[in-house]
Structure 1
Amino acid sequence: MRLLFVSWAWPSHLFPMVPTAWGLRLAGHEVVLACPPSLAPVAGRTGLPVARVGTDVDLTPRMKSFMDGARPRRERRTPLDLFVPVADAMAGDLLRFARDWRPDVIVHDPTTYAAPAVAAALGVPSVRHLWGIDFTYPLRVFEEAAFTELYDRLGAGACVVSGSTPTLDPCPPGLQLPVDYTPVRTAYRPYNGTGVCERGLRGRGDAPRLCVTWGTTSGKFGAAGSLPELVFAAAADLGLDLVFATSGAEAFGPRYPPNWQTVVMQPLNLVLPDCDLVVHPGGSGSALTTVLAGLPQVCLPLIPDQETNAAQLVRAGAGARVGAAGASTGQIRDALTELLDDPSFAAAAAALREQSRALPDPGAGLLAAVGG
């Protein structure tokens, strides 16, 4: 079987599909990743074949305005307007590539709306591959208004609405939002990018160890000013050991304890086994990798999907949320103290880990969904 995996230009949308794609390739199926040009170098480092499709759309100004707390523009037709130019920039070239390569199935992340349109135009099945909590599903009521023009242009017929095709769901049930479709539940397999495997973190004393990570999306668009500094100050107040896992070259200032460590380009799943709790903005990759490690987590959400992830972690009893706008060292210190002092958070985190471990292999689930 030939499977075409499609993501637009954010690593955080591609990464959750990589283990599924590799599992299928190792099972003997042909796999290609299709993405815009700017994501191709990252996609190429997965070791899978890559096809560059379409052109890049710079969403940096829009995302920075989200993170800075700007209100949505009043002239928007739908909440999905952000993704319309992205889909338009990919669709024509993606259709041409797919006609040449002739996939049997097209697999896509929830916001790569060009992919189901191309699948409909070709008459092949499409599979929606979640990266975590299905925060886009409530927006399905806007999909026809946002993308009918694209479907008409491709000759694809009626707009395919989220939930009407199989959805591969790697999120443990205790963390997922309620939906009115039946998901194909699969295990979450962490892929946090490539990097050099460190020989291990330095030894620690009796203090709990906190991991701070700013993820791929929040790290790409800036860390909302002083938020990391506030986290570091709260950790210092509590006398915590700390590891900063980053994709950049940030370093701690001299006022921080010398035993604290910065780990650059180290896959997060290799760092967490030596930690006791995690602070991050609330991205799905950080959240689900932390779930699989069985650790409580504090979220400081900056954009809507991070808000959803934070709310669900709080609801599950496995985490705490501190609002990024107006956050203080004291608020973060209180959240860390609560998670460390109340054993129910660790117990809830462990329960989510066991739920995740009990789910079936993602590749097998996808093939079952399409009858492969």
Structure 2
Amino acid sequence: MIASSASLQSSDFAQYPPQARDLARRYLPTLTSLPVAFLAVFLRELMGYDWQFPVERAETEAQLHTFRNRGDLPNLQQTLARFDSLPLAPCFQRAGWAAQPSRAVEEMTAFLWSAGAMDAFHAAGSAYGDQLAQIRAQQEKVRDRLCIVIVGRDAPGEGDLFRHLRPHGTCFENVRAAGGLKAVMSLLEKRAQADPVPYAHWYVDGGETHDSGARAGVSSISYGGLALTRRNLLQYMVTARSLGSVGPEELRSKMMQMGPAQLGNLQGGSDEVLRRFELSVLTEGAGTQIFSTTFVQWTARELLRRARPDTLVLRYAPRQADRPMNELISVEDGEQELDPRGSLVDAEMGAYYTWINLNRLHGEENCRFIAWHESGTTAIAVSPALAKGTVSTQTCDVEQLLRWSLG
């Protein structure tokens, strides 16, 4: 059976947030022309339009414009036709399914697995991903991005630190730590003041937010600042687990549908976009509620995927030591044992993953990336201004390293 979106009605969007509702109704004829399997996924994203970052909103609108004029784009027509060839999930025969697109996507996913059509769905999604990359390239300007990752707090001893990154940049092995954090924060502030675009400059801390992270123009998020929110979320998880009322998949689904008011104490305050982002980090990321290193790594991944900032500073902090899962998710008060050395291992790999994600952005050839061990003497800088696969033993400080990297 061929799926159709023709039954979509304006009333289906009544419970969407205001801006998403208005956008969906304005483009209703376009939406009704899309394959239903594709439409369900798109509406799930569109429903969060009010809380998207500016670049996401622009991309959403660019996609809608492209859909409306897709008759001139044969490649897009062919890609969407692959979604049209998928078997129709029963949920789409239910009137008003578009009012809850997340639920529809979950039911569709289960159906496609059972029908042996998930590979075809993934292939269609990958093909559309290529189309989306073209839309994004046309929409976005090439940015002068800078990402700085600070690792190793309270963890001396390095060995071959940043081994995965060394082939791609210059490794500095005699970096003076004194004044390093101040130099990084000063540069972050200067970039935010020079280009005061909302959500373009970020500071992420695995402990408490550094004072400089609260400066004008800098968006900040920290593991320590979300302590009460994390505690409330863990309490919800423990309760659901002890009652045995929901399975892992249903628990994940329920968490992803939570709103800020259900957990409280988010750092974003009156900034609803930031509050929703903080909530998504804690409810969609595995382990972000428990390990500060996972929190920083996942936050960086999501910021690069969604906000695509011009400046991103990450500072890892020691995470709690590994313990049995029952203890890790416990909400009982007590002093945690920290593992600085294990956290350095996590942060080193997190820095590498962040560099990979940075290079997935449009204009990656202009990106600058620095990872610095704040309790040691080693740093790695990947920049068009510096040689690849080389080692420098010249004594320098972080301020000099930043200046050389920026060229």
Same fold by TM (over 0.5)? no
Q: Which structure has the highest strand share of the two? A: 1
- Could you say which structure has the greater relative contact order, defined with CA pairs below 8 angstroms and 6 or more residues apart? 2
TM-score where L is the length of structure 1: 0.27
Q: Which structure has the highest helix share of the two? A: 2
